[in-house]
Amino acid sequence: MTTAQEGRTAEELKSLAEQAGRELEDASALEILQWAVDTFGAKFCVTSSMEDAVVAHLASRVRRGESALDVVFLDTGYHFPETIGTRDAVEAVMDVNVITLTPKQTVAEQDAEYGPKLHDRDPDLCCRLRKVQPLEEGLKDYQAWATGLRRDESPTRANTPVVGWDAKRRKVKISPIARWTQDDVDAYVAEHGVLTNPLLMDGYASVGCAPCTRRVLEGEDARAGRWAGRAKTECGLHG
Ligand code: SF4
């Protein structure tokens, strides 16, 4: 396997991602993360929505020499207090380097420029300003990033590769738990005592920004509570 190095071209990264996606399809989450660390070194980070801390916990079990891995959290300014609390708890108890990204504007500044409740009137623009742009800025020095995406979360995620090419950002995108089911997540949380967002015990199956997240009903898929009633299923980070 390739060792960590500077200066790969986008074409080299793309080819690396495609090859790894094939070779690592059956690998464990820890093996996939270890490959990412060995391949990209400090140019690899893990992102977490703090819905649960499973991927952050996995990252805490993978070493990059003496350094802990970077775990990037996007603070949109609209999170539930429970989500911020989960971020703070991860930072306090896990051996990872939590990095919090924030949008250019506070919610008040955005309201002053675009009017209040942009999330109700133009959620795509709101997500672009508060999620997509800050993440793009925050990832610019990394060659590869990991997510907690899983194939069983929704039909839009059914083909998520364990390692793929993020053409929009021209980076390698790694989903170490893509093949996991909800039962796998629950078993990992129970086995390792992993922190989870308290809202998961309160009817929320997927946790995003407070104005755009509701509890799910019986029989709905995990992401049915996100942007419910609107023609939107993804924030733009993964599409
Ligand atoms: Fe805005 Fe809702 Fe997107 Fe959060 S999820 S950035 S509040 S539109």
What range does the domain containing 77 cover? 10-196
User: Is 236 part of a structural domain of the chain?
Assistant: no
User: Is 37 part of a structural domain of the chain?
Assistant: yes
Over residues 62-85, the pLDDT tens digits come to 988 888 999 999 999 999 999 999
User: Is 157 part of a structural domain of the chain?
Assistant: yes
In testing the pocket of ligand 1, which one of 78, 101, 111 has its CB within 8 Å of the most ligand atoms? Answer: 78
User: Is 213 part of a structural domain of the chain?
Assistant: no
Q: What percent of the chain has pLDDT over 70?
A: 91
Report the complex ipTM: 0.99
User: Is 48 part of a structural domain of the chain?
Assistant: yes
CB 148 within 8 A of CB 48: yes
Residue 35 CA to ligand 1 centre (angstroms): 33
Residue 24 CA to ligand 1 centre (angstroms): 33
Q: What is the pLDDT of residue 1?
A: 43
**Total number of domains constituting the chain:** 1
User: Which CATH number fits the domain that encloses residue 34?
Assistant: 3.40.50.620
User: Is 172 part of a structural domain of the chain?
Assistant: yes
Over residues 101-111, the pLDDT tens digits come to 999 999 999 99
Question: Taking the model in full, what pTM does it have?
Answer: 0.90
In testing the pocket of ligand 1, which one of 101, 131, 234 has its CB within 8 Å of the most ligand atoms? Answer: 131
CB 197 within 8 A of CB 51: yes
Looking up tokens 């703090």, which residue turns up?
Answer: 50
